[in-house]
Structures are given as structure tokens and as C-alpha cells.
Structure 1
């Protein structure tokens, strides 16, 4: 994914973009190769060489780097590493067990030319400020002078615990992306995009951590899973893996991975066949990054039609995109006459079970979830729990022992079955009814009175 403009872009919850202009020129690639990996699982603080206030930090029992200072103050530590070649990926986790402020805050130095902020060049993250709008802030240092390049979601680290797992990618052209999971997991959402046309790092760099704290916060800073390495390129594009019409004007979709928000919310990315085209709007939030809803005009989507949704232009943070499509249906609950009880077996062969066969004479796709079969003579109901959809002109048999039906009656391969417990069916005679719940009201879709004289003599029975 490449950009040619000279701007830094901030993506907030409502996807408005803030632009930061940088008068920067040129970009230098570096061929040195190295990487920094600090997961602290070996409980050894000295697996790398640190400088600074080393005695103010420890590895805790959870395998995390933790501040452990004697009282109020400021502490910092630094370690040296070689810049990875080509594009760079930074992963890390932090947690502060308090509401951050100007007196209780942290900085994480990602790339620093010397083990001190004074007169240094590089980039760092600032965590914490006064007020309730605390956000992860990315700064660039030039001879010790900081320039704000952009901010993450406002207020995202304002409250205890102020935590996040970060993944920052900086590409060869100076374009960068910061993705976050504010719950500390790995469900990353794009939080910040930035661009620096003069992204120029020296071969030898310092990584560092700075903490400022009052006495009650002197042991409430945690850091873990710090990795700085050449980007392991993601080549798999995000896809829509599920599409369901939840009513006649809304399609709910699910993604295989969180897409870039600006592409997810673009109606032009989605198109439905049968002359429908793109949605009027798309509802997508960073708080629910794997799901979205496509909104169309009332009555646009009809039952009885198999639709195909085409997706073109959906991207992930690595810029991967792939044109693909997925089919979906608009299903309805069964109403009176939509389904017919076509066949009933009440006296099966030894080892078998009763079955009820249902036919769909309508032009609708009927969702059979939570239909009810009732034996009125016994006053016994059974709710059939299934996600099966019965298409127009099709049949389905419901039985507790589907395998027996298939083997004993040598059913065709295209025959459809639902395995479920039926109400006990009288052998001689009874009433079997099919019920459905529509708009909160239980209705009888079909009802059938049977007796023993209706038995079909050609059905074999041992």
C-alpha cells in the first residue's frame, strides 16, 4: 500500500481525517539487518544490554517488564539494536494501572539516535496527558524537537487500565500504519495512518522506555512482547465470509479480518446483482471490526431470489485487496399455507424412528429455525432447532434417526434431512400440526389428521 502525498492522517471513530503537513524530502533505504525481540519469558532482564535506571525495573511473575521504583520520580532505560532492513514492523504491549495524566505517563522510544531524548532524532509514542481525551500519540524528534505526527482514538487510554497491543508498520516509501487492540488482544484495528517522506534512520538505534510517576504509581507500568523486525508481509486479502439478509432492505456481512475502515464504509465497494447495485449506506464501527451492515431502500431484497454480493476494493492494513463474491438469501418465517405436511411415518421398521416430511409450495425461502411440530392428541410440542432453509418446491424429512431413513429407504442423494426429536406420534390416529411464530404470534401453518387406513402398503416394514 503506497501513498504519494505528504500528510499524516488520523482515523477516529467517525472516520474523519486530520491532516498534518510535513515539509520533508527524500527517503533512504538501509541494508542492515537485525531485529529486537523482548518477550521477557525467561525472566531475565539482562538478555539484552540496558542503560539508564535499570534498578527501577524488574521482570514480574507474569513475564512482563514492570516499573519498580522506590518512590515518585522519572525513570528510563534504553537498549541498542541495528535497524531492520527494508520495511519495519513494531509490535508491543503496554498497560498502566491508573488514569494517566501529565504526572503519570509514559513514552516508548521506537527509534532513537542516542539513549536520551535531548538533541536526538527518532520517533516515540507518548502515553497519557491531563483530561479525558488521552490517546496514543506518535511524535517525530528532530534534534530533540518533537513534532506530533498523529493521534489514535481520543480517550482510548484515558481510564484504568490504560492498555493496548500495537502493531506499527512503516513501509519503504515512508507510509506508516498503527493498528491497535485496546483490550490487549490481537484483533487489530487501524488507528492511525501517517506519512513521512524523510523517514531516515541510522543503522544503529536505541529502543527505550520512559516513565513519569507519583509515589502511588511507581509500580503500575507494564510492558511486554516488544518486537522490532522486518515486516513479515501479509499477502492475504480481507474477504466477506458471510452475508445474510436480515430484512428486505439490510444485509449483514462478516469479514475474514478487520479491513481498513475507509474501505469498509464505502458503498462503492459492494454491489448486488439482479439490478440492485450498491447500497445506499454502510454501517461499520471500529468497536465491531468484523461485521458491517449494508442498507438499501425498503423492499429492495425479496425472498425467493438467490442474490450474489460482489466485493471490489476492500483492503487490509497491508494494502491487500481481492475481487470476490458471495451468495445470500432473504428468508422468511413460515406463514399459513407456506409449508405442507406431506408425509408422516408413525409405525417404523424395527430399529427406526418416526419421521415427518415437509414440502414448500410457496415462492419463498422459508427459514425452519424454531418451527414447532405438535401432536394435538397428546398435547405434546417439539421445537425444531435448525438453520435449515427450505427453498421453493423442495422437501425435507425430519427424524430422530436420519441415518436409518437413508439406509432403509434408499433415499436419493439430493434428499434433505433434519435430525431432531419429534413429538410422540400415535400409531393408529392423531393430529399432527406445524406451527410457526411470526411477529411474536404463534400460528398454525398446516395441520393433518391421519389414521391407520392411510398407511401406504408398499412401504416395506420388517
Structure 2
């Protein structure tokens, strides 16, 4: 989150001397280094982020001085709106303004986050007086609450480019561009929030940078290789990879006679992910090496040849057990108020539960992507409950089945539908009326002998 925190400390004097802006709000205020002015009583610093802290229905803004040249300039920042934007609830980030007061008539450029109807996308506008003209419009949908990171560049010819990472990281994807030379200088940079009562505290901003275009010279690296089926892999890179080179099959090879994939497809959802499919199947329990070369990031930096090991393992019956059951979570006894089923991977291999199923009674739901190391545990619970299990591996299952208080049958199957474990539990297992009344879990006594 604090991508520029150290940079702000080291380069602050130089940045301000040349009219740049760098602020990650590490100092816990917005009154100095650099100073922001405007509706200052409507904003606070919360957990190292600039947050609107107002009330009622209104528009609030903050601005800071910025005179950095628009020629070959970059703006980037993090933004979160914790609500569904609308025509009465939206944010603006003013990249350029000739006026400190962002609520009135001015000449400049701004990004708008939110609009009427349900096709909200980030859009760059030029403002002359009180009139606005669109320069370009992104493609990431922000019609519901969102957290994203945005980068905008403007070159010497007046070409504006809008890049977004919809996950809030730095894997930017270029979404739109447009040329506009109408305004060539600036005096201020700032934010503006238009809100109604329910959203008066739901705007967050962080990691502002305005300055020379940051040139990426670092090559991509592989963060992880995950087996998704007996003949397919997910390859996660450290950043967005170039479409052409990442989809060139001969840039990947697996040893032990597997060879090159028959297809390499970059994900349309995560542009740092490439999905490989091979004609030959992996052998269970065998260690393989994936060799990757010539894959580039968007600026054209090529990966240094990477050799990454992976193991394919086909789980067997009893490899993953239903180890603990929280059927009656209330009243709470040192545990969150959420039902859960804990699974134990007692095999000697890491197992990915993606597309496995859990059935409680007759209600079957799909388990999301979650890797469970050898001899480790995972808590399956509702999507609302998952964040309340810090320090353990957990997975939020959409529409998690109700864990019946008095008893039921729980069945776990792998992604191919093979039975892995099934048991029928009962509240009689408590053998204690007080514990059966709620707040206590049932745990397998001897996992070595299920």
C-alpha cells in the first residue's frame, strides 16, 4: 500500500523544488510535506490513508501546489470508494488545475470515478470554466465499491494514456488514450468528493505521485506455478506480461518428456497470469521443472530464463479429512460467530482445493482457489466469516451451506467428483449438554484412523 512511502522521505526536498508531488501520508497529517488546503476539516488521515470524514450531503476538496511540467508527466495513486458510485456520489482527482478551489470555475484536467446509471468507468475530462469535455474513458467497471490503482501519463505531444490495475496493485493495463493540448500548465493537484450522508466517510486516497514518467526497466519474474489439472498449469508473473510473448507456446517447456504446451493463454481477468495446457499428462507424485524464457512485460523487458519446480499430485481417498466442525456458533466461546468446517490435508503434498465441493446434507457448494500445504489445515466458512480467521488458512465459500446444529452428513469431493471423505456427525458427540448448547466445535480424535 505504501509504494512511495520511502521515496517520499528521501526525495521530498528535491520533489518540491521541481514542482513534483509525492505523498503517502506517512507523517499522519496533510498539513505539511506537502501541505493540502481546502475543506481540511472534512478529511482525516486514517491508517496512513487520506479519508473523507464529513457528514450530510455536500462536496469537499483538498488541493496541493503542483507546477510540474505536463510534458512527459506521470500521475499515479491508489483510490477506494466503499460504495456504489452514482450521479450524486462520486470522486474526482484533479491532475491539473489553475485554481486552488476545486469546487468552482477552473481550467484543468480531472479523472472522475462514478456517474449516473450502472456503466461507471474511469474517465479523463478537460475542464474549462465549468464546462467539461471527455478526453478518454477506461474500461474497468467501477459500478460497485472498488479499490484500484491508477496511472496517467502525458507525453510531449499531448497524448494522454490511462492505465489501471483493478486489484489496487501495480500491474497496470493501458485502457484508453486521447490527445488534448488545450491546457499546458498547472498550479494545483487535488481531490474532490461529491457525497450524500451515507457515503460521507467512504472515500479513501493514497500514494500520490506527480512527476517525470517512471520508466520500468525490471524484467518480469515468476511468482508461482500452480497445477490446475493433470495437464495444465497456471503461471503467475510479478507484473502484467505482454500478450504476444506470453502466449507464445515455445517460450515454455516442461522436462520429463512433457515438452512445450499446446496452448498458452493470458488471462483476461489477471494479465499477470498465463494458463498453459499440455498434450501429455503429469504423473502423480513426480517433480517437474517448468522453463520459461523470452516472455516480456508491457515495456518490453524480457524475463531472465526461469526454472520453476512443481509437483502434480492426485489426491486419494482420506488424503483430506473433515477434521473439525462448528455447527452451533452461538454463544461465542473464544471463536468467531460463524459456522465452519475445518479440513486437514494429511498427505505429503500441497493440494489446491479449487473447484472441489463441500456438501452438507443436500446442499453442495464449490470451494474457491486455496492451496493447503502438506499436513496442514484450512477453515471453510462463509465469505463474510473468512476474514475473522487471521493467522490460519481460510477460504470463503459463496453461499456456504448451513452446518445443521443437531447433525448432518458432510461430504468432500475433488474437482473430478471423486469422493475424498464423508462423515455423518451428531450433536450427541459432544457428550456434554453445555457444550452442545453452542460455541464449541467437534474435532476428530484420531486423524490417523478416520
Quickly name the TM-score band, shorter chain normalised. 0.5 to 0.7
Q: CA deviation at 1:124?
A: 1.4
**Corresponding residue of 1:240:** 222
Q: Is the aligned partner of 1:190 residue 2:172?
A: yes
The answer to whether the 8 Å contact 2:105/2:128 transfers is yes
Question: Structure 1 pair 141/194, CA: closer, same or farther in 2 (3 Å)?
Answer: farther
Q: Is the aligned partner of 1:39 residue 2:24?
A: yes
**Corresponding residue of 1:164:** 148
Which residue, 114, 117, 128 being the options, matches 1:128? 114
Q: Is the partner of 1:82 in helix, strand or coil?
A: coil
Q: Is the aligned partner of 1:90 residue 2:72?
A: no
Tell me how far apart the structure 2 counterparts of residues 63 and 263 of structure 1 sit (CA, whole Å). 39
Question: Structure 1 pair 226/331, CA: closer, same or farther in 2 (3 Å)?
Answer: closer
Tell me how far apart the structure 1 counterparts of residues 147 and 312 of structure 2 sit (CA, whole Å). 43
The answer to whether the 8 Å contact 1:271/1:310 transfers is yes
Tell me how far apart the structure 1 counterparts of residues 132 and 187 of structure 2 sit (CA, whole Å). 18
Q: CA deviation at 1:49?
A: 5.3
- Matching of residues 145-164 of structure 1 within 5 Å: 145-154=132-141, 156=142, 158-160=143-145, 162-164=146-148
Question: Structure 1 pair 260/302, CA: closer, same or farther in 2 (3 Å)?
Answer: same
Q: Which ranges of structure 1 fall in alignment gaps of 5 or more residues? A: 1-31, 336-369, 371-382, 388-419, 421-438, 442-462
**Corresponding residue of 1:324:** 305
Q: Is the partner of 1:153 in helix, strand or coil?
A: strand
**Corresponding residue of 2:85:** 100
The answer to whether the 8 Å contact 1:109/1:123 transfers is yes
**Corresponding residue of 1:266:** 247
Question: Structure 1 pair 331/108, CA: closer, same or farther in 2 (3 Å)?
Answer: closer
What are the Cα deviations for residues 165-204 of structure 1, in whole angstroms up to 9, with x where unaligned?
434444556363523254x5xx333344333455676344
Tell me how far apart the structure 1 counterparts of residues 161 and 211 of structure 2 sit (CA, whole Å). 15
**Moved runs in structure 1, 4+ residues, more than 6 A?**
300-307, 332-335
The answer to whether the 8 Å contact 1:34/1:81 transfers is yes
Q: Which ranges of structure 2 fall in alignment gaps of 5 or more residues? A: 1-16, 320-345, 351-374, 376-417, 421-450
**Corresponding residue of 1:137:** 123
Q: Is the aligned partner of 1:385 residue 2:340?
A: no
Q: CA deviation at 1:80?
A: 2.2
Tell me how far apart the structure 1 counterparts of residues 252 and 347 of structure 2 sit (CA, whole Å). 35
Question: Structure 1 pair 263/140, CA: closer, same or farther in 2 (3 Å)?
Answer: farther
Q: Is the aligned partner of 1:252 residue 2:234?
A: yes
Tell me how far apart the structure 2 counterparts of residues 43 and 327 of structure 1 sit (CA, whole Å). 42
Q: CA deviation at 1:102?
A: 0.5
Q: Is the partner of 1:228 in helix, strand or coil?
A: strand
Q: Is the partner of 1:251 in helix, strand or coil?
A: strand
Q: CA deviation at 1:126?
A: 0.8
Report the TM-score, using the length of structure 1 for normalisation: 0.53
Q: CA deviation at 1:205?
A: 2.9
Tell me how far apart the structure 2 counterparts of residues 41 and 206 of structure 1 sit (CA, whole Å). 21
Report the TM-score, using the length of structure 2 for normalisation: 0.54
Tell me how far apart the structure 1 counterparts of residues 49 and 288 of structure 2 sit (CA, whole Å). 53
Tell me how far apart the structure 2 counterparts of residues 386 and 65 of structure 1 sit (CA, whole Å). 44
Q: CA deviation at 1:111?
A: 1.8
Q: CA deviation at 1:109?
A: 0.7
Which residue, 176, 188, 199 being the options, matches 1:206? 188
User: How many residues of Structure 1 are paired with residues of Structure 2 in the alignment?
Assistant: 310
Q: What is the alpha-carbon root mean square deviation over aligned residues?
A: 4.6
Q: CA deviation at 1:295?
A: 1.8
Which residue, 29, 45, 52 being the options, matches 1:67? 52
Question: Structure 1 pair 281/198, CA: closer, same or farther in 2 (3 Å)?
Answer: same
Tell me how far apart the structure 1 counterparts of residues 116 and 315 of structure 2 sit (CA, whole Å). 58
Tell me how far apart the structure 2 counterparts of residues 102 and 246 of structure 1 sit (CA, whole Å). 43
**Corresponding residue of 2:275:** 293
Looking at CA atoms only, which structure, 1 or 2, has the larger radius of gyration?
A: 1
